[in-house]
A and B are shown apart, each in its own frame.
Chain A
Amino acid sequence: MTTVAEAPAAAPAERPGSLVGRLRGWASNPWGKPRFLTAFTWLYVAWSLVPVAIAVLFSFNAGRSRSAWQGFSLRWYTGDPDLSILHDPSMRSALVQSVKLAVLTMLIATPLGIALAVGLGRWRGRASKPANFLMLLPLVTPELIMGVALLLVFVHMIPFIDLGTGAQLLGHVTFTLSFVVIVARGRLFAIGKEYEEAAMDLGASPMQALWHVLLPLLRPAIVVGALVAVAISLDDFVISQFLVGDSSTVTIPVRVYAASRLGPTPATNAIATVLLVGTLLTATAAGLILRRARRREQRGGSAVEDLARLEI
């Protein structure tokens, strides 16, 4: 890299002072200081995160306003006898429903997704390509279309499953599944087939090689897949809303949406903040586990770079 720094001259020579000349310098010169790009990037980061930070801040507002600060309080979390998360039954039930769905989704989607990832990763049959394609489809289908489709199925095709928790759970597993597969597949490619083949050369059956060799190697991916399933389920809005049954099956995002339309109070910000903390903690845990797995194998780069490059 140091040799690069000494390489060609800095900004373009033509019209050094003009705006166009400087723009060109910013846009392209890989060796000068990109002041414009630096400022632009940090402005973008601020724009993308500061509004949410303000929303979190106002969940601690002592007054009812969401735009004038009236002092710090936990009123909207625990204090207020009617409207706080702790005392408003609709808030409490949204919290319970979100957590319930996330845990159940994780319990079903993780084994199903890991098995699907291993199967698709190793299987070279005629049907493996269509199966792979089918697995990718939910990732690019607009959620609205999936929501309508699932709603019509539960209303008209499977009348014995009512709208509500059951339908929501089946819906959540369906769109979470592919994400678990994607997480596990990256890891599968990294492991390669050598370990299983070595085990089989030493006399293990394919089943034994899978159970005693591949699965232990996949363990970080299984945990990360499970955490990703939790985070995605917690975050879902469209499917949960389309498949909502009675008011006890309203999840946090659905509750926040309804409140935002009808006149939110800081309690809305508070419950959204609780959700935010939940998903961020889950995602951070996933990131840290990925990082530890990398470190143990002494691979270069970083976990977040992996995550950022994680494409479908």
Chain B
Amino acid sequence: MVGERRWLWPSLAGPGVVWLILLFLTPFYAILTVAMGRIDPLFNTPIPEWNPIYWNPAVFGEVLSDLFGGPLTDTFLRTLAYVVTASMLALLIGYPVAYYISRRAGRWKIPLLVLLVAPFWINYIMRMLAWVNLLDTDGYVNQGLMLFGVLDQPVVWGSGRHDTVIMGLVYGYVPYLILPLFAALDRIDPSLIEAARDLGASPFRAFRKVTLPLSKQGILAGVVIIMLPMFGDYYTPDLLSGRTATRMIGNEISLLVHAGIGRTKGAALTLVLMTFVALLMLYYLVNVLRAQREART
């Protein structure tokens, strides 16, 4: 029976683990083999190189020099600027909302939570389509702004404007930030804030010295969890602008990978992006695992 107990659990986990090794880990090796492979001179197609001994880092070096001081530098900096700006705006919008719902919403807490969760189940592409419609030259946004006298004539929002794309990113990803923030704020014991107030802290000071520090983990987790998909986003700029002026790294990768000859370069660029976001991923996972350990003990 002890024997059965020993093999039962790993053998239950086995199929899932094997699946993830085959279809999640191995594919990353495939990126490496293509990025470090050669290009068939006759058919202009990438030839993956399975053996690390024969890996050829030429394309990889080419991509790095493109990114730092080459033709991809602008895209790289733009991606960084978009992601950082959109994340900060999302935090500015998300924090008050999460704070209100976790602490002050009273009987509205549950209905508001339902409304907060709703965007999760509305397709991202549809949420962008909604804005494509609204931002049409004769769409409701221009109509509204002209009605209130903000604009004299319609703005062409979808013509490679940074503000349109950043707004789209904020709109798209805020919901994913609010929920971890809500969870962190909801966990804070209200008696801690009462204690701070009883000891003479002003409400503002109690917020700054108690609530804010205690929600720091939630802030970081929320920001990281939206930065990760934003670094791999190509559909938001595609749908809301579609111009080269608003291209992100994701657009370059998606374009390269879908064109046969560019695939080697696309794979190399994906590798660079991966190393770039790996730090964020690790940070997040280490935090999750630590929280799990604490929850169990």
Contacts and interface: CB of A to CB of B under 8 A. Distances in A.
A40 B105 CA distance: 12
Interface stretch (B57-65, B68-76, B202-210): B202-210
Contact of A28 (B20, B33, B115, B207): B207
B239 A257 contact: yes
A279 B123 contact: yes
A103 interface: no
A272 B239 contact: no
A56 to B, nearest CB: 9
A210 B197 contact: no
Contacts of B155: none
B145 interface: no
B16 A29 contact: no
A269 to B, nearest CB: 7
B9 A122 contact: yes
A60 interface: no
Contacts of A292: none
Specify the main secondary structure of chain B where it touches its partner.
Answer: helix
Given A115-B15, A276-B126, A12 B204 contact: yes
A304 B113 contact: yes
Interface centre among B96, B198, B238 (most CB of A within 10 A): B96
Interface string B172-198: 001100011011001000100110011
Contacts of A224: none
Contacts of A135: 16-17, 20
A125 B203 contact: no
Among B24, B193, B206, B274: residue with most chain A CB under 10 A: B24
A24 B13 contact: no
Contact of B122 (A27, A52, A144, A309): A52
B110 interface: yes
B123 A37 contact: no
Contacts of B31: 148-149, 152
B82 interface: no
B87 to A, nearest CB: 14
By CB atoms of chain B within 10 A, which of A7, A133, A151 has the most? A151
B97 interface: yes
B285 A153 contact: no
A54 B101 contact: no
Interface in B1-50: 1, 4-5, 8-17, 19-21, 23-28, 30-31, 33-34, 46, 48
B139 interface: yes
Contacts of A152: 27, 30-31, 33-34, 48, 257, 263, 267
A113 interface: yes
A140 B284 contact: yes
A279 B284 contact: no
A249 to B, nearest CB: 15
Contacts of B126: 52, 55, 253, 256, 272, 275-276
A305 B20 CA distance: 30
Contacts of A189: 295
B12 A37 contact: no
14 contacts: A55-B126, A112-B16, A118-B9, A136-B288, A145-B273, A149-B27, A149-B28, A253-B125, A256-B123, A260-B132, A272-B123, A272-B125, A305-B113, A311-B221
Given A40-B96, A142-B277, A253-B126, 13 more contacts: A7-B197, A7-B198, A28-B205, A48-B119, A67-B143, A157-B26, A170-B23, A171-B23, A238-B232, A256-B126, A257-B239, A261-B242, A279-B123
| Shortest Cβ-Cβ A-B pairs, 9 listed | A119-B13, A142-B232, A116-B16, A144-B232, A149-B27, A123-B9, A119-B12, A28-B207, A28-B203
Interface of A: 4, 7-8, 11-12, 24-25, 27-30, 34, 37-38, 40-41, 44-45, 47-49, 51-52, 54-55, 58, 66-68, 112-113, 115-116, 118-120, 122-125, 127-128, 131-138, 140-146, 148-153, 156-157, 170-171, 173-174, 177, 181, 189, 205-207, 210, 231, 234-235, 237-238, 242, 252-253, 256-257, 260-261, 264, 268-269, 272, 275-276, 279-280, 282-283, 302, 304-305, 307-309, 311-312
